[in-house]
Amino acid sequence: MQRPDAGTRISHGARIRLSAASPATGFRGRIAGLAGVVALAALAVLTTVVPGPGQPSAQAADLGPAAELKLGYFANLTHAPALIATSQDLLADQLEADGTSLETQLFNAGPAAIEALNSGAIDAAYLGPSPALNSYLASGGTSLKIVAGVSSGGASLVVSPDISDPGELAGTELATPQFGGTQDVALRHYLAEHGLDQQATVTPSSNATLTQLFGRGAIDGAWVPEPYASLLVENYGGHRLVDESSLWENGKFPTTVLVVSQDYLTEHPRTVEELVAANSEAIGWLNAADQQHKAAAVQEALAAANGSSFDETVIAAALEEVSFDEDPLADTYQTLIDHAAQVGIGQTGSVDGLVDTRFLATQEH
């Protein structure tokens, strides 16, 4: 595998030895020696690679396989490749040959995962694209890279039966998994597009909490990922007022992407390659398995991850709403950035350099 090129440079640790000026050379010798130092310093500047936006420091280097990979993901069906890769040891087996251990951590939504990634608490994460885009732009293109796609589709605005038209959302209480998350941005933008952003209340809550709130009528609806959208429909009498796929060209929009800290990617590209390979293997299994085996495996993985399980009808319905694919759908990112900026979340900017597909190119599709 080709390693990232850190560029040609003169080591900052190199020492330049100068002979002391002798009586014979005197002042002129010292001037000549000083000129030599200046020339060498200029050469160092000219031969040092200055990184552009989103590129790692020239001092960064490939340190080989990491001792540990700390991975974050959610107990959502849109994160099924992560669930399968971890529960069936696909990722652990990939890492084992290099002596890399795996540590996983569950999150409820993207902003919390991004905070952990930026602090170094985790090295990589499965999360929605909006928090990833916001982090990249806020850091000036230095925080993370998207190294693979994971899933598309599988997000809906589910509302109570008495709401049948977007105009009826005025005066309602709605929820999303977390402020600034992908579903949160989607709902706020949808309301703004329909002139309802000042007429409906949006309260971020965890998926488990908003499910309970909807069940007892404390909220009128929620924009949520699968399997929670199907749970609200199948078990709590809700209906899909908006299937987000209907808002996108060809019905394709990214729900989950795989991101890696740029520092970790630069220092341990081999480990990232193994992570992408396990993601690919899990996606391949999900797309090849029959519905019954797929539902059973996802159900078991969800239960193992957070101790909760869903009815078979819920899982079956949810799987019909989600597509699994390594394509990161990068052509949608500018639209997502614009949507977030329009509702006052995040900032505008270029996403050039955000996606790193070098490991996808090594996989067989």
Whether the per-residue pLDDT at 331 is higher than 60: the answer is yes
Q: Which of 54, 96, 92 is nearest to 71 (CA)?
A: 92
More confident residue, 303 or 263: 263
Q: Which H helix or E strand runs over 261?
A: strand 254-261
Is 117 within the bounds of a domain?
yes
Give the confidence band of 30 by pLDDT, cuts at 50, 70, 90.
Answer: very low
Chain-centre distance of CA 348, in angstroms? 18
Q: In this predicted model, what pLDDT tens digit does every residue of 309-323 receive, in sequence order?
A: 788 899 999 999 999
In CATH, what number is assigned to the domain containing residue 330? Answer: 3.40.190.10
Domain that holds residue 154: 63-365
Is 360 within the bounds of a domain?
yes
Measured over the CA atoms of residue 236, residue 185, residue 264 and residue 323, the dihedral's sign is: positive
Say whether the peptide bond before residue 227 is cis (omega within 30 degrees of 0). yes
Most confident of 109-113, 144-148, 300-304: 144-148
Q: In this predicted model, what pLDDT tens digit does every residue of 120-150 receive, in sequence order?
A: 999 999 999 999 999 999 999 999 999 999 9
CA atoms within 13 Å, Cβ hemisphere of 264: 27
Q: Which of 130, 295, 109 is nearest to 209 (CA)?
A: 109
Give the confidence band of 108 by pLDDT, cuts at 50, 70, 90.
Answer: confident
Instruction: Quote the pLDDT of residue 33.
Output: 42
Is 256 within the bounds of a domain?
yes
DSSP characters for 24-55? TTHHHHHHHHHHHHHHHHHHHHHHSPPP-TTP
Give the confidence band of 41 by pLDDT, cuts at 50, 70, 90.
Answer: very low
Is 17 within the bounds of a domain?
no
Domains held by the chain: number: 1
Q: In this predicted model, what pLDDT tens digit does every residue of 217-242 receive, in sequence order?
A: 999 999 999 999 999 999 999 999 99
Is 278 within the bounds of a domain?
yes
Instruction: Quote the pLDDT of residue 193.
Output: 95
Is 280 within the bounds of a domain?
yes
Whether the per-residue pLDDT at 355 is higher than 90: the answer is yes
Instruction: Quote the pLDDT of residue 361.
Output: 62
Rounded mean pLDDT, 173-202: 95
Whether the per-residue pLDDT at 25 is higher than 90: the answer is no
Tell the residue number behind the tokens 């399997």, with chain if given.
227
Instruction: Quote the pLDDT of residue 60.
Output: 63
Phi, psi for residue 46 in degrees, rounded to 5: -70, -30
Instruction: Quote the pLDDT of residue 290.
Output: 92
Instruction: Quote the pLDDT of residue 326.
Output: 96
Kindly report the pTM of this predicted structure. 0.80
Is 209 within the bounds of a domain?
yes
Instruction: Quote the pLDDT of residue 43.
Output: 37
d(CA 136, CA 340): 14
Is 194 within the bounds of a domain?
yes
